[in-house]
């Protein structure tokens, strides 16, 4: 039986795509019992990172059980009609294994490059989600909003999952948590936030759930965790900082948000997140991915 632990698919590379690693890693992670395989999104920039929906479509063909998740799609820079079609197709090809993680994004998102305005970003984000849900669930969808207006638009096939794939939100502040509780099926804490941040965010989430009178049992809670297992703590931190410097242009973020050290220390620090309220952890090793997948499955997860 799959356990409530997902793992990130190798997606970021130095200067060439290691297709053999992806092809080996995903079935192996599935056989090790990870319940889900995850991707992230960055469309423009000099980082060698594969596009998430395309990558998950490939992974759908080489796996059969694990759920496939996005953490997260920046939907304000995408056309929701086209995205609804792509994700419905992915849910069909994976036979109902898709979890759609979505987020508004921050100041780092260059909306102008994609021909969209940065004004009213939150409203556009919510309306885009409504467009996708309508196309996924209604025989002929209609929308009369500020950004999209259409009537009796059909889209087939619908997703396998009914009424639609689960939608998990990224959120960091009070308004975003209210939005997530109102429109989403779950929340995944960002990998770029620390364990201490997660505790603070859980307080905001609980307040939002209580204010909306929503049963917490109906709302999934997860956290992306960058981590490195190594008894040599200095070496682990150094390698994390190198990766964060390449991926985010911010080596210090690696030291601030990651978990690293020997097996006992990793177990202790991951246990803190579970005690704080995480029902699911998405583990994200950034180097030696195959070795980490096995070590986590055999030595860490059974102790959590």
pTM: 0.96
Assess contact for 196 and 256: CB atoms under 8 A: no
Q: Alpha-carbon distance 295 to 74, whole Å?
A: 32
Tens digit of each residue's pLDDT (9 = 90 or more) over 88-122: 999 999 999 999 999 998 777 888 899 988 889 99
Reduced to 3 states (helix: H, G, I; strand: E, B; else coil), residue 294 is helix
pLDDT above 70: percentage of residues in the chain: 99
Tens digit of each residue's pLDDT (9 = 90 or more) over 136-191: 999 999 999 999 999 999 999 999 999 999 999 999 999 999 999 999 999 999 99
Enumerate domains of the chain plus CATH numbers: 3-303 (3.20.20.30)
DSSP-based helix, strand, coil % in the chain, nearest 5: 45, 20, 30
């Amino acid at each position: 039986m799959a356990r409530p632990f997902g793992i990130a698919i190798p997606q970021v590379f130095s200067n060439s795509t290691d297709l053999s690693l992806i092809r080996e890693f995903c079935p192996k992670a599935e056989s090790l019992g990870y319940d889900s395989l995850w991707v992230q999104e960055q469309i423009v920039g000099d980082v060698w990172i594969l596009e998430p929906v395309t990558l998950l479509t490939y992974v759908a063909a080489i796996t059969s059980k694990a759920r496939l998740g996005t953490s997260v799609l920046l939907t304000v820079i995408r056309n929701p009609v086209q995205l609804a079609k792509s994700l419905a197709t992915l849910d069909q090809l994976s036979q109902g294994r898709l979890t759609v993680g979505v987020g508004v994004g921050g100041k780092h998102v260059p909306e102008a490059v994609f021909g969209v305005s940065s004004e009213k970003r939150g409203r556009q984000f919510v309306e885009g989600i409504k467009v996708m849900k309508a196309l996924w669930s209604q025989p002929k969808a209609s929308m009369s909003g500020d950004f999209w207006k259409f009537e009796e638009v059909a889209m087939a096939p619908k997703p396998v999952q009914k009424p639609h794939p689960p939608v998990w939100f990224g959120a960091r502040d009070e308004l975003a948590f209210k939005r997530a509780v109102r429109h989403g099926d779950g929340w995944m804490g960002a990998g770029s936030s620390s364990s201490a941040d997660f505790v603070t965010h859980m307080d905001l989430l609980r307040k939002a759930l209580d204010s909306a009178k929503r049963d917490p049992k109906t709302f999934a809670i997860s956290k992306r965790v960058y981590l490195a297992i190594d008894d040599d703590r200095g070496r682990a931190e150094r390698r994390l900082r190198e990766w964060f410097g390449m991926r985010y242009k911010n080596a210090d973020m690696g030291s601030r948000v990651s978990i690293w050290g020997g097996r006992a220390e990793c177990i202790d620090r991951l246990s803190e997140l579970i005690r704080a309220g995480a029902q699911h952890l998405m583990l994200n090793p950034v180097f030696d991915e195959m070795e980490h997948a096995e070590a986590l499955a055999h030595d860490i997860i059974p102790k959590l």
